[in-house]
Structure 1
Amino acid sequence: MSSERARLTALYGGLLVLAGALLVGLVYLLVSEGLYASVLTAVAPAVPSGATDVAIRSGTAATPALPSSDWAQTTIMQPGQYAVARKVSTVAGDAALSQLLTVSGISLAVYSALSVALAWWMAGRVLRPVGVITARARRLSGSNLHERLALKAPPGELKELADTFDGMLDRIEELVAARQRFAANAAHELRTPLAVQRAAAEIGLADDPSPEKVAWIRDKLIDTATDSEQLIEGLLLLAVSDEGLRRRERVGLDATAATVTEALEPEAKNRSITVETEARPLSVEGDPVLLDHLVRNLVANALRHNHPGGTVRVRVGPGGLEVANTGPVVDPAAVPLLFEPFRRAQARRHAPGEGAGLGLSIVASIARAHGGEASATANPGGGLTVRVVLPTCP
């Protein structure tokens, strides 16, 4: 801060001193141009005619040519009288210019000192908001991210900078809070299958080590390991999508939707759910693997949170991708929260194939990575409609 203030002081002070020096020089030049003629005009009428002989006898006056100015043409003077007036005006002009130069030099020195002091004060006033921003930013940490600069200053660049910084803190606070919830939920989700595995291994075989019991525990451990594997894969996919795209190519979203729905058709039949597909040609630029995961998560989520005899509608067209399903009634106020990791419309029952609650968060992350947006609305009769809008290829 002090170095910036010193630079601004040198800049402001230098400009003010330079302007003062130019002003003094201009005044001196203008005054010296007409000073002698003005003094001569004022002094000549006051020179007595008797002074002419004295000047001539002393050798201090010659007989110069009369001036050709208007004043000389309208004023009758003896040659000796004019010589005396010219000598007096020269001496008086030199003295006046010397005095003017001395006074100007002193004034310029005082002006320079005042200019530097004023420049130092001005630089402090200009940089004061920057100091406030710096001091408050240094106090910020993970424990007080809720604090804001709230700079009280007139509208301007520094006020806009402070407001932008406050907006950035809002986004950072939301991100940190989301990451903290994510870490806590991930730890909880990972701890649950481990606890199930430990309980199955320690308690299940303690009283009844029969082959049937061993087979049951084996199946239980396999199911728990599968759930853990799916959870870890979901976390890795979420991390990859949050990092952005590593490659881009033209992808037919309609073809991807058709492939995914065909692959999930057996699961739909097992759940007695009808899948309706309406796909129009739609090409987007992005990562085909991530887009495949996006569509798969949407359709799988629509199948998982449904009821027997329900339907899933998959539509692809100029408006993007839309997946709607029937199922339990979803509270509209809870819909935006479903895009956060480990958020569910209903409490977890730890049933087989229930999922880890990462589906919609992965969808939203992949959509953001492609420059798009994912949104959802609760259907009046139950279920959810999820829309994903992505930039299309020309």
Structure 2
Amino acid sequence: MRAVLHSERARLTVLYGSLLLLAGGGLIALINILLRNGLYSRISGAVTTVAPAIKGTPPSVIPGQRVPVPAEKLDSGTGLIPGTGASASPEQLAQWQATRNLSAAVEQATLHELLVVSLVALAVFAVLSIWLAWWMAGRVLRPVGVITETARRLSGANLHERIGLRAPPGELKRLADTFDGMLDRMEELVGAQRRFAANAAHELRTPLAVQRAAAEIGLAGEPPPEKVARIRSKLIEVADSSQHLVESLLLLAVSEEGLEATEPVDLAELAEAELAGIEGTAPQDLVVVRDLAPLTVAGDRTLLGHLVRNLLANAVRHNRAGGRLEVATSREGVLTVSNTGPVIEPGDVPRLLEPFRRRAERQHTAGEGAGLGLSIVASIARAHGAELTARANPAPGGGLMVRVWFPAGSPAARPAGETPGA
């Protein structure tokens, strides 16, 4: 009972009921005031129309106008109605007095009856108002109750449920739709997290299995030194791959946490430095085209370095013989990396931005990535408030073009050397 009395429905009922009672009471009071001011003249006029007229009485006095006449002055012997100047006989004066008394009595009785009827009507209206306010508050708050029950019932197993409120457009309809949109995002994030955990476990389990097999099978018995050397090289290679995978996972986790501090970073200079490191390991026939306009980005230098490095490494790894690699920065705050390579279906591009997703199934060969490069790039871009877009390049060149756009006018995208407010 206490919960009901302290509920929002009870508060709305009190509010609606009070407003309705206030409006009803005000209306009744206004009707009583208006009738009280003009009721006597109307009753007096109605009575005198059926009473014998007083000779010489001005029409403006009887009927229709109330003339206050003290009772002690009616038999003053003047033969005149006080205040009117009209002559009258004693019989007419008596009749006038009787008409006046009758009008006053009818007025009092009418006002009393009107007051009683008004109070009874107000009491009935109060009961109906409270019931109507309770019902209306329940109707208004029904979507809130649906949202509350849905939120209480949700768990990881039924995130697919939605409110789906069917109601006219309004604040509560927008609230329900917003809640459904939030559930969509939560379901997507939870699904991505589950896939990430499963893929991470699979990726980490594979090198461990390789290491165990190499140790148990390759080193069984008394293998010759040459075989031991090969097994040793294989174990080192698998260990390096596992280390790289763990570092990538840690980097992805750090980038998802956001930025703790920022500093001005010359993105063009950073791209030039990363290009110098990539060109040393890239195929000799790879054509590198650079168009690096000055651009300063406010962010974390280490994370931005990983962003550029992963984009360039991905563009080199998935290129083709005699292919091209194009890197550009613009004063509008855009970093663009484009490469030639296999033709990618446009529908497959969004999937490449998810963790452990590749264009083709993993073959577990040397130099093959873990499928975290572009997902790390997307995570670092989000941490810097940037927007990442990717699209497949058409045939015959193929490949992928990735653009990281920092919104113009924000402190994260300014030409190099330009200070805020300049």
Q: Offset of 1:257 from its aligned partner?
A: 0.4
> Partner residue of 1:340?
354
Q: Equivalent residues in 2 for 1:42-53 (5 A)?
A: 42-43=46-47
The answer to whether the 8 Å contact 2:81/2:88 transfers is: no
1:343 Cα deviation after fit:
1.0
Aligned to 1:369: 383
> Contact 1:241/1:290 (CA < 8 Å) preserved in 2?
yes
Alpha-carbon contact 1:268-1:274 (below 8 Å) kept:
no
Give the TM-score, by structure 1 length. Answer: 0.87
Aligned match of 1:25: 29
Match of residue 390 from structure 1? 406
Aligned to 1:247: 261
> 2:296 aligns to what?
283
Is 2:14 the counterpart of 1:13? no
Cα offset, 1:89, TM superposition: 3.0
Preserved contact between residue 275 and residue 312 of structure 2 (Cα < 8 Å):
yes
Task: Give 1:138's aligned residue.
Answer: 152
Separation in 2 of the partners of 1:326 and 1:91? Answer: 107
Of residues 316, 319, 338, the one that matches 1:303 is: 316
> Of residues 145, 153, 166 in structure 2, which corresponds to 1:152?
166
Quick one: structure 1 residues 160 and 66, their matched pair in 2 at CA, closer, same or farther if it must change by over 3 Å? farther
Cα distance, 1:172 vs structure 2: 1.8
Give the direction of change, closer, same or farther, for the CA distance of 1:26–1:211 in structure 2 (3 Å limit): same
Q: The residue matched to 2:220 in structure 1 has which SS?
A: helix
Instruction: Note the C-alpha offset of 1:308.
Output: 4.7
Using a 3 Å threshold, how does the CA distance of structure 1 residues 163 and 287 change in structure 2: closer, same or farther?
same
Could you tell me how far apart the structure 1 residues matched to 2:88 and 2:248 are? 113
Q: Does 1:39 align with 2:43?
A: yes
Superposed displacement of residue 62, structure 1? 2.5
Root-mean-square deviation over aligned CA pairs: 2.7
AA of the residue aligned to 1:323: V
Which whole-Å CA distance do the structure 2 matches of 1:300 and 1:94 have between them? 101
| Distance verdict in 2 for CA 1:383–1:82, change over 3 Å | same
Letter in 1 for 2:22: L
SS at match of 2:158: coil
Q: 1:61 to 1:239 in 2, by over 3 A?
A: same
**1:146 match: secondary structure:** coil
- CA separation of 1:67 and 1:137: change in aligned 2, threshold 3 A: farther
The residue type equivalent to 1:91 in the other structure is A
Counterpart Cα distance in 2 of 1:254 and 1:182 = 33
Q: What is the number of residues matched between the two proteins?
A: 380
Q: Which residue of 1 aligns with 2:62?
A: none
Take 1:75 and 1:263, find their aligned partners in 2: how far apart are those partners? 127
Give secondary structure in 2 for the equivalent of 1:206: coil
**Alpha-carbon distance change, 67 to 239 in structure 1, aligned in 2, over 3 angstroms:** farther
| Equivalent AA in structure 1 for residue 315 of structure 2 | A
Contact 1:63 1:79 in 2 (8 A): no
Change (3 A) 1:207 1:121: same
Q: Give the Å deviation of 1:79.
A: 4.4
Task: State which of 47, 54, 72 in structure 2 corresponds to 1:62.
Answer: 72
Structure 2 gap ranges (5+): 54-69, 75-79, 408-412, 415-419
Q: Judge conservation of contact 1:306–1:328 (CA < 8 Å) in 2.
A: yes
Structure 1 SS opposite 2:280: helix
Tell me by how many angstroms 1:197 deviates: 1.6
Q: Secondary structure at the match of 2:219?
A: helix
Which deviates the most, 159-168 or 334-343? 159-168
CA distance in 2, matches of 1:75, 1:233: 120
In 1, the alpha carbon distance for the partners of 2:342 and 2:51 equals: 119
Q: CA shift at 1:61, angstroms?
A: 4.9
CA shift in 2, pair 1:192/1:136, >3 Å: same
2: CA distance, partners of 1:382 / 1:46:
108
C-alpha deviation, 1:143, in angstroms: 2.3
Contact kept? 1:43, 1:85, Cα under 8 Å: yes
Tell me: CA distance 1:74–1:203, structure 2 relative to 1, closer, same or farther (3 Å): farther
CA drift at 1:222: 2.0
Q: What displacement does 1:130 show? A: 2.7
The aligned counterpart of 2:114 is 100
CA distance, structure 2, for counterparts of residue 282 and residue 27 of structure 1:
77
Change (3 A) 1:67 1:188: farther
Higher helix content, 1 or 2: 1
Residue 210 (structure 1) shift = 4.0
Counterpart Cα distance in 2 of 1:240 and 1:207? 45
Which piece of structure 1 moves more, 302-311 or 101-110? 302-311
TM-score normalised to the size of structure 2? Answer: 0.81
**Partner Cα distance (1:48, 1:315) in 2:** 111
Is 1:120 the counterpart of 2:115 in the alignment?
Answer: no
Distance, in Å, in 1 between the alignment partners of 2:48 and 2:338 is 109
Structure 2 residue aligned with 1:109 = 123
Q: Are the aligned partners of 2:389 and 2:404 in contact in 1 as well (CA < 8 Å)? A: yes
CA distance in 1, matches of 2:82, 2:374: 102
- Look up the equivalent residue of 1:385 and give its one-letter code: M
Displacement of 1:377: 2.7
- Give the corresponding residue for 1:56: none
- The SS at the match of 2:403 is strand
Change (3 A) 1:230 1:84: same
- Specify the SS of the correspondent of 2:343: coil
